[in-house]
Structure 1
Amino acid sequence: MEKLTKKQLLLLASLIFGMFFGAGNLIFPAHLGQLAGEHWLSAGIGFLISATLIPLSALIALSQTRSQGIFDIAKPVAGWYGILFLILCHLALGPMFATPRTAALGYQFSFESLVPKRYDQLGLFLFSAAFFGLAYYFSTRETNLLKIIGKLLNPAFLIILFAIFAIAFIHPFGTLQHIPADQAYGHGSTIKGFLEGYNTMDALAALAFGVTIIRTIRLLGIKKEKAIASQTIKAGSLSMLLTAGIYLGIIALGAMSLAKFPLSDNGGIALTQIIRYYFGQPGMIVMGGLTILAVFTTAMGLIASFAQDFSAHFSILSYKGWLRLTTLLSFLTANFGLDAIIAWTMPFLMLLYPLAMALIIPGLFAPLFKHDRVIYRLSTAFAALPAIFDAIGALPIQTTLTKNLTAGYHQIIPFATQGLGWMIPTTIGLGLAIVLHLFRKHSALETVAE
């Protein structure tokens, strides 16, 4: 059987980690740790489920279904749905939210403090222009991704991060017991941690990055579909194991920091305070370097996967043509500012995550039901309505109509108030689909016997 060498496997795992782990993956767990306080571990478990286990499940589902990317895993619902889901996911991960967020975060935690407030917009414009210009340049050749992210940028990022961990845990702020938690985390901290993991967008990113990971494995000489699936699972597991360890470390740091600092408005402030405490003012250079490395590798992965998927399904433009378009649009969106980007991200996530789960869960067990389309169709149909209501409820602008709609939805559907209204309907849809599949299978066997 074809397989990667140990060195190649580690490089691929490094590439996957580098594409997934952006600045949001630094700041969200830091803020979660502060909010959760003494409940940091239970909140952290919830965060790990949505931010590492589900993305890994998505990679496994892609492998189990032999899918090349988003379109292939959604296609069993219907061809038009596969195209629609591909477009929506890549818009959210691409020029609308995730990719612009990389530049906005990179600027906020590196150069923003050095630029006078009146020139803030100009500073963001110049930074994002240089940022996306370099991301485009290094992504024009697909072979560059493994070399630049896997061999260079990601190892540099990990060295800086582990140096911070080493110093922080040798000289901790305090213990992890009896730390006051935010009132909202006094009960149900695991669910709140789970929902906080949505913000990383990694479950969607896993579906989008599938095309990049599979193409990279092919470039390394693996051609057989079964071998590609096996190597994807191995490298993905290594990457997510590393990610989970880092998340728990950052969450613990965030919780311990409450011994020295008050609850911050966001994880970026919390992380900045932690690094400044241990490294002084020079630590801001460390923070800037850490953030830029994190966001740059993710930006490269996002624009490359966008261009790879769109060039495969919409031949009106080549890979480089789509790469130019998503890079330009991401640059324009980044200049609306981080607050505006984040405000409109959550509604899209609340819509797309349930739809993604309705594909990922059946995909994990696809060989057991012979890839029967009815499984995907019913699970997606039952997930769609709660997803739409969750998206409406997360809109930053609410009207009387939207409030009334979501109020009724919250009263009727279990867990809807926690943002998990999709779970029960999707489970019911999946159960009905399995029953229907087994019934049709049994009927077919009886027909053959007669």
Structure 2
Amino acid sequence: MHKLTRKQILLLASLIFGMFFGAGNLIFPVHLGQLAGKNWSLAGIGFLISATLLPLGALVALSKTRATGLYDFAKPVAKWYGILFLIMNHMALGPMFATPRTAALGYQFSIGSLIPNKYSSIGLFLFSLIFFGLAYYLSVHETGLIKIIGKILNPIFLVIIAILFLVAFIIPMGSLHHAPTLATYLYTPSTSGFLEGYNTMDALAALAFGVTIIRTLRNYKITNENAIAKYTIKSGILAMVLCAIIYLGMILLGTLSLNKFSLSENGGIALSEIIKYYFGNLGLVFMAALTILAVFTTAMGLIASFAQDFSSQFHFIGYKGWLRLTTLLSFITANFGLNTIINWTMPFLMILYPLAMALIIPALCSNLFDNHRLVYRFTTAFTLIPALFGGIQSLPVHTQVGERLSAFYVSTTPFASIGLGWILPTLCGLILGVIVQKFFKYYFPDSIKI
């Protein structure tokens, strides 16, 4: 059986890291550090659980179920649901929200800050045209992804991050003893940190990137399912450990920055202030390089995984055709602007994320019920209603009906007020599904088939 060398495992881990780590992964932990103050460590633990362990759990779940993509992963509920979940997940992570956001963020934190407001539309148009043109060009050949992201772009990004950390921690801005700037970080820092990490939504991305990782392994002539699972988990752990190190460094930078700056509106502004403090006007170039490298590798991973999953299920268009389509649609959406994209992202993700967890959680404990579809169906059915309510709760457009439904949801469902109302229903569905499956398996063994 063919085996990966240590160098190949590191390259695969670098590819996974590069696809995951976008601009949002830079700005969320910095903002967390400012919000948490002296409770940065407890908040950081919560953040790491949701921002690294949940995505790693998704990769492990894919490996355990031997799924080769989103369709395979979701089809235990039903074949039609597998297709629907694939489309919903890739549209949200692809041309509707996440992929366009990479270009919009790259523009805002690079040349967008230098261009007068009256020219911002044409500036975004030209930037996103070049951005997605390059992303398409470099993603046309699937086998080139690991070389471009793993060998070239990602190492450059890590060198820039290392320089920032080296300077900032040799010459710190001050102490780490500032009081939290938000009350929730004073009383429940770990929970608040968990919720901030939840905003990265990387568990969804892990499910989408799974197909790219598997195809990369097959290009390395790893075809055995057990070997694919082993190398996915091993490289995924390395990638998430690297993410965790950078997250902690960014959290510390955010907390230290309170000695020089007041609480910023978002982590992007805070990171810009920190970089400018250490590097002056050169810091603007530094920030631009840091952000563009972060978002560009993620954009490549997103458009490639979209094209790979869609081409494997819908054969009337090949990989390059789907790649062209998602790149074009992402370019169009990006030009609606970052604020519009962010405002409409959350409602869709508040529906999709619980539905993804309703697949990931059973998959992680699938040995308990022989990976039977009945358990997936119960878990998903119990998750669907709170997921829909969560989406309504997050709509940027408020109506009387929507507000009444949201009020009912928050008043009747534990944790709904913090966006986690799906947790108890999902666990109840899982437990009930396992009980029902065990009952039928014991008393009516011939009536229940996998």
TM-score category, normalised to shorter length: over 0.9
Deviation of 1:43 after TM superposition, in Å, equals 1.9
Q: Which residues in structure 2 correspond to 1:122-141 (within 5 Å)?
A: 122-141=122-141
Q: Which amino acid aligns with 2:255?
A: A
Q: Return the offset for 1:445.
A: 6.4
Runs of 4+ residues over 4 Å off in structure 1: 444-447
CA contact (8 A) 1:64 1:367 kept: no
Tell whether the 8 Å contact from 1:355 to 1:380 is kept in structure 2 after alignment: yes
Q: Could you list the per-position Cα deviations for residues 351-378 of structure 1 after superposition, in whole angstroms to 9, with x for gaps in the alignment? A: 1111111100111122332110111011
- What residue in structure 1 maps to residue 60 of structure 2? 60
Q: CA deviation at 1:215?
A: 0.1
| 1:232 to partner: Cα distance | 0.3
**Corresponding residue number in structure 2 for 1:297:** 297
1:311–1:317 CA contact under 8 A, matched in 2: yes
Match in the other structure for 1:247: 247
- More displaced stretch, 140-149 vs 111-120: 111-120
**2:26 counterpart residue number:** 26
- Judged with a 3 Å threshold, the aligned counterparts in structure 2 of structure 1 residues 271 and 78 are, in CA distance, closer, same or farther, namely same
Q: In the alignment, what sits opposite 1:310?
A: 310
**Are the aligned partners of 1:39 and 1:181 in contact in 2 as well (CA < 8 Å)?**
no
The answer as to whether partners of 2:178 and 2:258 remain within 8 angstroms in 1 is no
Secondary structure at the residue paired with 1:182? coil
1:354–1:422 contact (8 Å) kept in structure 2: yes
Alpha-carbon distance, 1:446 to partner: 11
Give the deviation of 1:38 after TM superposition: 1.9
SS of 1:186's equivalent? helix
Between the aligned partners of 1:201 and 1:221, the Cα distance in structure 2 is 31
Match of 1:227 in 2: 227
- How far residue 42 of structure 1 moved from its aligned partner, in angstroms, is 2.0
Counterpart residue number, 2:354: 354
Instruction: State the partner residue of 1:363.
Output: 363
Question: Matched residues in 2 for 1:398 and 1:185: separation?
Answer: 28
1:435 maps onto 2:430 in alignment: no
Does the 8 Å contact 2:180/2:186 carry over to 1? no
Structure 2 SS opposite 1:249: helix
Separation (CA, whole Å) in 2 of partners of 1:163 and 1:285: 14
What residue in structure 1 maps to residue 178 of structure 2?
A: 178
Q: Give the deviation of 1:444 after TM superposition.
A: 4.6
Stretches of structure 1 that go unaligned for 5 or more consecutive residues are none
Q: Aligned equivalents of 1:305 and 1:219: distance in 2?
A: 15
Pairwise CA distance, 1:415? 0.9
Letter in 1 for 2:350: M
More deviation in 303-312 or 366-375? 366-375
Q: d(CA) in 2 for partners of 1:138 and 1:446?
A: 52
Match in the other structure for 1:103: 103
Preserved CA contact (<8 Å) 2:12 2:150: yes
Matched, 1:417 2:414: no
C-alpha distance in 1, partners of 2:389/2:255? Answer: 33
Aligned length: 447
CA RMSD of aligned residues (A): 1.3
Tell me the secondary structure at the aligned position of residue 223 of structure 1: coil
Q: Secondary structure at the match of 2:142?
A: coil
Identity %: 65
| Aligned residue identity for 2:19 | M
- Contact 1:179/1:255 (<8 A) preserved: no
Q: For each residue in 1:96-133, what CA deviation from the matched residue of structure 2 results, as whole angstroms up to 9, or x when unmatched? A: 11000000011111111222221111111000000000
User: Partner amino acid for 2:435?
Assistant: V
- Give, as a single letter, the amino acid of the residue that structure 1 aligns with 2:31: H
Normalising by structure 1, report the TM-score.
Answer: 0.97
What per-residue deviation string (whole Å, max 9, x for no partner) do you get for residues 60-83 of structure 1?
000000001111111000011111
Tell me if the contact between 1:198 and 1:349 (Cα under 8 Å) persists in the aligned partners: no
Task: Tell me, yes or no, if the aligned pair for 1:3 and 1:231 is still in contact at 8 Å.
Answer: no
Q: 2:330 maps to what in 1?
A: 330
Structure 2 counterpart of 1:287: 287
Instruction: State the 1:235 CA deviation.
Output: 0.3
Q: Give the counterpart letter for 1:57 in structure 2.
A: G
- Structure 2 residue aligned with 1:199: 199
Letter paired with 1:289: A
